[in-house]
Amino acid sequence: MDIAAALAGRFEYVMTSALIVVGLHGMLSKQNLVKQLIGLNIMQTAIILLFISMSVQTGGTVPIIEKGTANVVYMSPLPHVLMLTAIVVMVATAGVAFALLIRIHARYGSLEEGELLGRTR
Amino acid sequence: MRPPAYLALGLLSGLLLYAVAALPPLRNPDSPIRTGVERYFVENAVEDTATPNIVSAILADYRSFDTFGETTVVFTAGLACYLLLGRREEGESGK
Amino acid sequence: MSIDLISLALFPALLGLAIAALNVRDLLAAVFLLSAYSFLTALLMAHMGAVDVGFTEASVGAGLTGVFFVMAIARTSRRSGD
Amino acid sequence: MIPPYDSVTVRTVAKILIPLIQVFALYVVFHGAKSPGGGFQGGAILGASLILARLTAGPGVSVHYLPGTSALRLGAVGVLIYGVVGLLSLFGGAAFLDYSALPLPGAHEDELHAIGIEAVEVGVAVAVACVMLSIFDDLAPTERPYRQGR
Amino acid sequence: MIESWTPALAVLTPCLAAAVVLRLDRMPNIRESCSLTAALLLFFQVLSLLPTENATIQTPPLAMLPGVALQLRVDFFGAVFATLASALWFVTTLYSIGYMRALNEHAQTRYFASFAAAVGATIGVAFSANLLTFYLFYELLTFATYPLVAHKETEVALVASRKYLTYTLGAGVVLLGGMGVLYAETGTLDFRPGGIAELESVAPTAQYFIFASLIIGFGVKAALLPLHGWLPSAMVAPTPVSALLHAVAVVKSGVFGCVRAIAFVFGADTLTTMGASDLLAYLAAATILFGSTVALSQDNLKRRLAYSTISHLSYIVLGAALLTTTATAGAVLHLVSHAFLKITLFFCAGAIYVTTGKDKISQLAGIGRRMPLTMGAFAIGSLGLAGVPPLNGFISKWYLCLGSIQSGHTPLAVVLVVSGVLNIAYLFPVVYTAFFESSDEFDDYGEARIEMLAPLMLTALACIVFGLWPDAGNGPLSFAELIARSVQ
Amino acid sequence: MTTSLVFAGLVLSPIFGALLIVVLALNNARRAQILALLSLAISLGAAAAGIEACRDGGVLSYSYAGWTAPIGIEARLDGIAAALAMLIAALATGVCLYAGRSLRAELPRDIPAFYAMSLLLVAALQGMTTTADLFNLYVFLEISSLSAYALIAIGGGAASLASFRYLLIGTVGASFYLLGVAFLFALTGSLNAHEIATILQRTPPSAALNAGLALLTVGLGLKMAVFPMHGWLPDAYTYAPSATSALIGGVMTKVSALALLRVLYAVFAPGQAELLPAVTTVLGILGAAGIVFGSVMALAQRDLKRLLAYSSIAHLGYIAVGISLGNATALAGAVFHMLAHGLAKATLFLVAGGVVYRFGRRNLDSLAGLHRTMPLSTAAFVVASLSMIGIPPTAGFFSKWYLMIGCLEAGRTDLFVLVVASTLLSAWYFLRLFEAIFFVEPPKPRTRDELPTAMLLPVGAAAAAILALGLGNQFAIGELIEPTPLLQALGQLVAR
């Protein structure tokens, strides 16, 4: 199978996948907890983008029904709804994470993984 | 970063590429999400709810339970921050 | 053609911003880059017809999250080791 | 630590800007059924305006409105608004959040749904705005250290 | 079959006694009288439950798994074991009171409570109607006896108790595996006289696996040859514990389980086709010789008795493994007679230890002059174990020898005889040292206190009575023959 | 209406309870506790009604907002879910009763918000248990996670750091789950588990389907802490307040396990994804490795709560093994093990909390002489330990038994031997505890000083429940778990 061609037709998917991997790589490779959180954020946003890409339709319009129009192609509304939820979940998670970061910093005076490890043991 | 992390990352990239190539292509009017429940929403949202914004209609009516959960998520986050950092109790002067 | 130019331009920019946000040592700068990333995402969403989502991402993802990030950094430390 | 913003210009601009933003937020909430927008977006903007007020006035001053835990409580009230709408229909004999059973006489079913959607959006907006403010208050730096567990 | 909850009551009596004993920490006299009362009560309860030819009492089944229930059933074999345990519990409690008080031991409440719980578990083992119930009480027995082995709380005691638990829990695990396969293959775990018929059609590998796991599972407590390691170490426990638990309850539960597995799970037919029973018989014979030989070299009296126990337990396994009526009857008889004989010996060892503080055989020169009754009882026990008529040991050994010759295993009969000789070789020197060597070391000592002396006299007397009249008191002999006939 | 009330009682009552606590009782711990107990009482009643309705294979289906399945969100309660819902409601009630005293001892101040947070956790877990909508599951997963992070982090000390690590890992898990849902949604256009299963019947297997399966499994596996994805668990359980440890250690991972079970066997009907056999095989291997790893690590611990945490990893291994085998017997065993282990582990953590409450420490030395200080708690501790080891008639024995038979039925002799032999491993580390309790003399003699009633009551009730569940396993398995359509589809319970 011609994977390259298949991927070319799915440009958005490939790019969002790349963003997911970049975010996860950031989480795994960075020592700073804030950086890890940034990586997490990038990954979540990328997943949201992937969902949104799914809904795209050639010639599609914003899914708001105007009176008196017929045979209009709309972008799929369902992924939009789901992703509204996902965005809110994302910011909620971030909020809790910040609260934890502040507590960690208040206790250990650092947010670097290596230093924290030394101070907890 | 330790070798297992690289391995996991490599596996994930491979998996994603492998999977994404097999997803129904973008902008395809016959893809399952177009032929699934979505059709019902587009056709009936205005009649059912008198709300032209389909997203709002789904969000606050068809899938309103999700949205209730989502509001609860926000509230949970607020409560969590309060629980972890809360220093604004009323009547604090007494303590 | 199935690929439109706006996507073609925005996605690599997103990728660049993401990598930059992860690699800047000043956390405040990283947060601004992240906000920019979110904002570009919002643009892209709006472009894809998800105006509601784009709106939310811009106000919640880029706006509020950014503010929270800044608050958190203000109370912890601004420098990152990597 | 963010110092209280002691610039007259900024305060004046903020004073003018904040009500405008809030009006816009209300528009976004209540127009969500017909145009892009809704409870989340409106709530977030409303919350942002409140946060802006906190920022410009400085954390020491800004506790005049929604002080202490009242932001969080009001957030809970927002969720409660949502939930009570659902319970009304539950005790009206239908499923939770089934707006067609809302106890409003004389309204068509689709109108009932529209009303339900609006009511729920208001709840969401209140919840999001207040909780965001509450989170901000918790995260914002203050003189008093928070109490840490053992 | 009569359905009634009374067997469950019999199991509950000691358990309740344990609970009450725990509450009576501050009042030792009431506590001990509670133990004694419970023991008596239990003995009469068990007697009232004795089955007749056409009426067996069982509890209503409590469904636990599809096809398997928690159920107690008082069949002849179980009744014999339960009567034995309950009778000896009373005697041992009496003895314990003397022993523990004379030594002023610590944690007596825990001791008596665990003791009662262990007896309760033993009664449960005896009355179990299926493997699941058996397993339940078997594990409870392990946990109830653990505090007894660790009683002294010294490092040696803790190590021994860990060893004990590792062995017995390991055995439980193996047993569990065997039960699992048995259930998956046949869908039942019942004890049936003559064996579970469905087992015959099971694949040979599974048959061997089940047999091996059951025998290993029970064999650990029965101290079969490679699995006996825990028993000598467990002798750090107080002597009454060794007496009741390591001559009657724990080890006999293992042996009892072996017999259940051989005669009530597999049955003669299946085992004959498998050919596994001969293997087991020879393993038992090896254990007999091994135990007797090692016992020769032990100077510590309790350890010598422990190795003797190892060898005598295998008599019973051997008898069951021969699959003939006579041998099975011999096995059941030996289960009873060995209990009386060995408990007498342990009581004597304890009496000596309490009175003089000596526990080595070489230190006992001349003690027979000062403690004639104790050492007399010891002599009776020794003779009985060696199989000298007219003591009860002779009768069981006679049946066993006869059974091995009948089943065509003459070498095993030779092993039994050789073992009898070895018995004399390792036990008689004790008697000889005590009576015929002289020293003035024990001039200041007399007999042990009456709470200890009476029990050991009683059990010694019982050995003679059962030797002379094997059918005394609705006797063991007729029961043994009934049991043997029902399973073969 | 009854159905409505069952779901409302299970999921909504705790949410409303939490909201009311925040509105009315944010500075009054006592009032907060009463409100929490009230809403949990409603939840308990609903769970009981749910069990009654789900006996003998009954299924309650409910459409939120009145829109039926593919359009709206469907909730489903089958026997398995009802049993788990009961466990969650009951444990939460116990923990809320217990927390009053325990928190005050472990934390520097009263925290009424704790009750609101626990209620949110409970509501979210009930939501996850009952929902049939994959995205709805994600929403509840996030609520439960967020509340769990907060509940852990209030423990102070290293708890914040443990909680943050858990947050990162948990969010990655949830994101993977969401990504898996994205793939399934793209392939089927639906979010309802049963509708997806139907559509998958006529969908040709594809790479995307396999990837979706893998992502869902990894995501839920992270939340469930299957070895080697357990990294967050030991610290989180150790540093959390004991009340939290009991609640989270008791039910949280089990709910994820149930979700995984549903994804593997209700969404991907057997044979639909090529990867399914591979996924279950790997899950079985990981479960087996987890059993060994968790037990061995538990042996090496000196900290009571950390020991219990590692034992959790081992027991989640059992559940994973049961799920991986995929026959009705093994699945019944896995589900029953969720109940049994949930109860036992909660009891153990509650007693551990009692030790902290009395002595302020939780290393094994502080257990010395516990049977004299707290005889009743010790008895409960012993019962729970026996259940963890798998001694009849406690519940733990029967779950292990069904798992064993399930292994044999699937022809997996290796797993059978492991499950049986691992009993010895868990026995070893519990024996260390017994020895520490019974045979080590405390430095200074201890007098009887039993826990206060409010703490003792949940402990005793949980221990009694372990025994009751064991003796009544024919009801739980025969009438509730086995007749569920999910298990019926996989065949008879015990092959004869």
Q: How many CA atoms lie within 13 A of F425 on its CB side?
A: 24
Question: Which pLDDT band, with edges at 50, 70 and 90, does F270 fall under?
Answer: low
Cβ-Cβ contacts under 8 Å, B81 against chain A: 95-96, 98-99
Q: Which of A65, A88, A95 sits opposite B46 (nearest CB)?
A: A65
Q: How far apart are CA E477 and CA F408, in angstroms?
A: 43
- Quote the pLDDT of residue A56: 85
Residues of B in contact with C52 (CB under 8 A): 53, 55-56
Q: How far apart are CA E174 and CA E212, in angstroms?
A: 9
pLDDT digits (tens, 9 = 90+) for D75-127: 999 999 999 999 999 888 888 988 888 888 878 888 889 999 999 999 999 99
In the A/C pair of chains, how many CB contacts fall below 8 A? Answer: 139
Average pLDDT over residues F240-250: 93
Region F180-189: what's the mean pLDDT? 92
E275: its two tokens: 């050919």
Q: Could you tell me the sign of the dihedral formed by the alpha carbons of A118, A120, A121, B1, in that order?
A: negative
Residues E392-417, buried b or exposed e (16+ Cβ, 10 A)? bbbbbbbbbbbbbbebebeebbebbe
Asked if the model's pLDDT at residue D145 lies above 50, the reply is no
Interface of D with C in 112-141 (CB under 8 A): 132, 135-136, 139-141
Per-residue pLDDT tens over the stretch F326-343: 889 999 999 999 999 999
Would you say residue D2 has pLDDT above 80?
no
D vs E contact (3+ beta-carbon pairs below 8 A): no
- Amino acid (1-letter code) at residue E45: Q
ipTM: 0.91
pLDDT digits (tens, 9 = 90+) for B53-91: 888 999 988 999 999 999 999 999 999 999 998 765 443
pLDDT in tens, A32-91: 999 999 999 999 999 999 999 988 887 778 888 877 677 788 888 899 999 999 999 999
Residue A82: which residues within 8 A CB-CB, separation 6 or more? A51, B66, F135, F191
- Find the closest chain D residue to F25 by CA distance: D73
- C-alpha F44: how far from its chain's center? 17
**Mutual angle of helices E76-103 and E476-487, in 10-degree steps:** 130
Q: What is the pLDDT of residue D4?
A: 53
Q: List Cα–Cα distances, C80 to A19, C35, C73, F165, in angstroms.
A: 22, 18, 11, 18
Q: Is D92 part of the contact surface with chain F (CB cutoff 8 Å)?
A: no
pLDDT on residue F83: 95
User: Nearest residue of D to residue B91 by CA position?
Assistant: D68
Verify C-F touch: 3 or more CB pairs within 8 A.
no
CB atoms within 10 A of CB A66: 10
Return d(Cα E45, Cα E153) in angstroms, integer: 35
- CA F147 to the chain's CA centroid: 15
Question: How many Å apart are CA F103 and CA F118, to the nearest integer?
Answer: 13
Average pLDDT of the segment spanning F147-162: 90
Q: Which of E428, E347, E349 is nearest to E385 (CA)?
A: E428
Position A2 scores a pLDDT of 65
- pLDDT > 50? residue D41: yes
Tokens of E341: 């004989």
Q: Which two tokens stand for residue A17?
A: 């996948």
The dihedral built from the CA positions of residue E419, E421, E426 and E428, taken in this order, carries a sign that is positive
Nearest to F114 by CA among F92, F132, F136, F141: F92
Residue type, E449: R
Cβ-nearest to A91 among C31, C51, C65: C65
Chain D: partners with 3+ C-beta pairs within 8 Å? A, B, C, F
The total of structural domains in chain E comes to 1
- What mean pLDDT value characterizes chain F? 91
Sequence-distant (≥ 6) Cβ neighbours of residue E140 within 8 angstroms: E117, E120, E121, E124, F391
DSSP at E235: G
Checking if the pLDDT of F27 tops 90, the result is no
Window 200-239 of F, Cβ < 8 Å to B: 206-208, 210-212, 214-215
pLDDT tens digits for range C22-67:
999 999 999 999 999 999 999 999 988 888 999 999 998 888 999 9
Given a cut of 70, the residues of chain E with pLDDT beneath it are 472-475
CA distances from F270 to C38, F93, F410 (A): 41, 38, 15
Which is nearest to A45 in space by CA: A67, A28, A29, A23? A23
pLDDT-derived band at C5 (thresholds 50, 70, 90) equals confident
| Residues pairing with C79 in the sheet | C26
Task: Confirm if F284 and F334 have CB atoms less than 8 A apart.
Answer: no
F73's enclosing H/E stretch is: strand F73-77
Six-digit token pair at A30?
A: 């960075």
On the question of pLDDT at D61 being above 70, the answer is no
DSSP states of E315-370: HHHHHHHT-SHHHHHHHHHHHHHHHHHHHHHHHHHHHHHHHH---BGGG-TTHHHH
Q: Is residue F494 part of a domain?
A: no
The pLDDT tens digits of the residues spanning F350-390 come to 999 999 998 888 888 888 888 888 989 999 999 999 999 99
Number of folded domains that form chain F: 1
Show the tokens assigned to B61: 């009516």
Angle at A47 between CA A43 and CA A49, to 5 degrees: 115
Q: How many CB atoms lie within 10 A of CB C36?
A: 17
Using CB atoms, which chains have 3+ pairs under 8 A with B? A, C, D, F
Question: Does the beta-carbon distance from A54 to F172 stay under 8 Å?
Answer: no
F236 touches F248 (CB < 8 A): yes
F375-389 and F395-409 helices cross at what angle (nearest 10)? Answer: 0
pLDDT tens digits for range F401-457: 999 999 999 999 999 999 999 999 999 899 889 988 888 888 777 788 888 999 999
CATH topology of domain A3-120: Helix Hairpins (1.10.287)
Q: What phi, psi does E52 have (nearest 5°)?
A: -115, 180
- The verdict on D33 touching B (C-beta cutoff 8 Å) is yes
Q: Where are the domains of chain C?
A: 24-75
Burial (0-12, 13-18, 19+ Cβ within 10 Å), D110: middle
DSSP code for A64: B
Range of the domain at F11: 2-488
How many Å lie between the alpha carbon of E136 and the closest alpha carbon of chain F?
5
- D148: pLDDT confidence band, cut at 50, 70 and 90? very low
Q: Which residues pair with F62 in a beta bridge?
A: F75
